[in-house]
Structure 1
Amino acid sequence: MGFVTIDGRLLRNSLGHFATGVTVVTYEIDGEQLGLTLNAFTAVSLDPPLILVSLDRRSYASKNLEGRPFVVNILSGAQLQHAMNFAGKPQQDCIIDWHDCTPGQPPRLAGCAGYFECAPWHSHDGGDHILYLGEVKDFGVAPDVEPLLFYGGKFRTVGGYADDVVQTS
């Protein structure tokens, strides 16, 4: 059986048909608050409480996240500028508000739909990405705040509940 050649662009576009939330992973280096937008985030385990983020090896964050505490900030539908800013596309009018954190804690964005503060657990080779597992130490949600979504190469917001759709035969 031979190997099939995969068109990377076509694969990426196909994977884009899976709707995801949009997050910013934040961390600190020498007192500087840094972050990276990503949508490759998932729950891994409840016992112990673990989450996973996948960072492109070429990113600045992938080289600096090893062994550092970090926060996964789930962006709200109103934080598109934050997503763009931390994706390396600075937004002229974007003001980054940071939540007041205790010294020694990783920085966290204010106004998010939720957050997961993590201690480093393990990292793994993921091809052109590095997979970082974090042990959840603290978390919170803003139940009335809708998240920012990414689907089909575009940012979106929640449009309603599937239960609300009436199907006729």
Structure 2
Amino acid sequence: MDGKLLRQAFGKFPTGVTVVTWFDEDGINGITVNSFTSVSLEPPLALVSIDKKANSYKQLQNKPFTINVLADDQEAIAWQFAGRPQEGLDIPWNKEGDSPSIIGVSSYFKCKQWQQYDAGDHVLFIGEVTKFERQDGDSLTFFEGRMGTTAMYKSQEVQ
């Protein structure tokens, strides 16, 4: 199977863009993730998928974490945590609680580790949501390798 073509086919599914963040011995750490989904309302569970080759896979083990759903004006933050440093970027943090959250996101979900599952070259981290917040505004999206915004969906009437 051609992995490049498979990746392009998966890229036909638009996703949101999140940054998963946690505290470690050096301060705050994080990784950009678009493989995020709600799992359950009772108990409240959310899932992120992390590549086993990513340093974050080992660093996130058994730590509380926050899933930050980025707002449409936070593309630079997405690239920063995807391993493309953004010179001069100043990220506003809320450091309260067990894991840090990014100020100004569309929503965030603070989670304690609930389960993790092996999934081929990735690990599925399922967190139990202990706190969440949301705000009005558009979210950042990812489609066919490009960042975008949910605003484009609002201009179309639902029939």
Task: Give the Cα separation in 1 of the matches to 2:23 and 2:95.
Answer: 14
Report what 2:107 is aligned to: 114
Q: 1:18-57 to 2 correspondence within 5 Å?
A: 18-30=13-25, 32-57=27-52
Is 1:139 the equivalent of 2:132?
yes
SS of the aligned residue for 1:94 comes to coil
SS of the aligned residue for 1:164 comes to coil
Aligned Cα root-mean-square deviation (Å): 1.4
Deviations 1:61-81 (A, max 9, x none): 101111100000000000000
SS of the aligned residue for 2:93 comes to coil
Q: Structure 1 vs Structure 2: percent identity of aligned residues?
A: 41
Report what 1:3 is aligned to: none
Query: Which consecutive residues of structure 1, in runs of 5 or more, have no partner in the other structure?
Result: 1-5
Contact 1:66/1:123 (CA < 8 Å) preserved in 2? no
Task: Give the Cα separation in 2 of the matches to 1:163 and 1:83.
Answer: 26
Structure 1 ranges of 4+ moved more than 3 A? none
Please tell me whether Structure 1 or Structure 2 has the larger radius of gyration of its CA atoms.
1
Query: Which consecutive residues of structure 2, in runs of 5 or more, have no partner in the other structure?
Result: none
Shift in Å, 1:136: 0.3
TM-score by length of 2: 0.95
Task: Give the Cα separation in 2 of the matches to 1:97 and 1:152.
Answer: 29
TM-score by length of 1: 0.89
Amino acid in structure 1 at the alignment position of 2:88: D
When you count strand as a share of all residues, which structure comes out higher? 2
Task: Give the Cα separation in 1 of the matches to 2:34 and 2:69.
Answer: 9
Q: Give the count of matched residue pairs.
A: 158
